[in-house]
Amino acid sequence: MPETDHAALNFLLSRRSRPAKTLAMPVPDRTALEQILTAAARTPDHGKLEPWRFIVIEKAAMPRLADLAGTRGKVLGLDDEQVEKGRSQFDMGHLAIAVIEVHVPSPNIPPLEQTYSAGAVCLSLLNAALAAGWGANWLSGWPSHDRVFMQEAFGLKDNERIAGLIHVGTETSAPPDRPRPDIAAKTTWLSE
């Protein structure tokens, strides 16, 4: 029988993202952030391709990204509420890590599995930040799917896209837990 890592299991059973709008200063310094990134990079990488990379967005870069999101939202014809929602994560952000999916041509690893790997990095990064004692939240939103925003904000190439924006900071209030999935309703057991 394997030995249970009770601390790790308890963390996973009780982990809870912190709303990005409730995150404040201070944020992790580079040394602390490098440890979090190192933990996140230990994700399944599907054939050692490592089909992702990180862009650390510091506080000084947030106003430029907020303005770009505002401009792009208007160009796209979004309503005021959608524009504000797209720019607000940058207006309120103190530190975020953009996880960039990098599609690598491979005869063995299909693009969808590379997408799964980038998603796994996002969750690993979120969990690593939470385990390190920080508040963290994984966001996306329309700017993350707008090709022009991706290129102008981060210089992404045609084979790259944003998998997620992980905001990290100091938790200012603990959110209430939310209803969780009914595992019995979500699980099918095959016994033969």
Q: State the amino acid at position 70 in one-letter form.
A: G
* Residue 6 labeled ligand binder: no
CA distance 125 to 173: 21
Q: Per the annotation, does 87 bind a ligand?
A: no
Sequence length of the chain is 192
15 labeled binding residue: yes
Per the annotation, does 12 bind a ligand? no
Cα–Cα distance, 69 to 65 (Å, whole number): 6
Residue 124, marked binder: no
**Residue 142 marked as a ligand binder:** no
178 is in an annotated binding site: no
CB 20 within 8 A of CB 126: no
Closest CA relative to residue 81, chosen from 20, 165, 149, 142: 142
DSSP 77-105: T--HHHHHHHHHHHHS-SEEEEEEEE---
Q: How far apart are CA 171 and CA 20, in angstroms?
A: 9
140 among annotated binding-site residues: yes
Going by the annotation, the residues of the binding site for FMN are 15-17, 42, 46, 138-140
Q: Which residues are annotated as part of the binding site? A: 15-17, 42, 46, 138-140
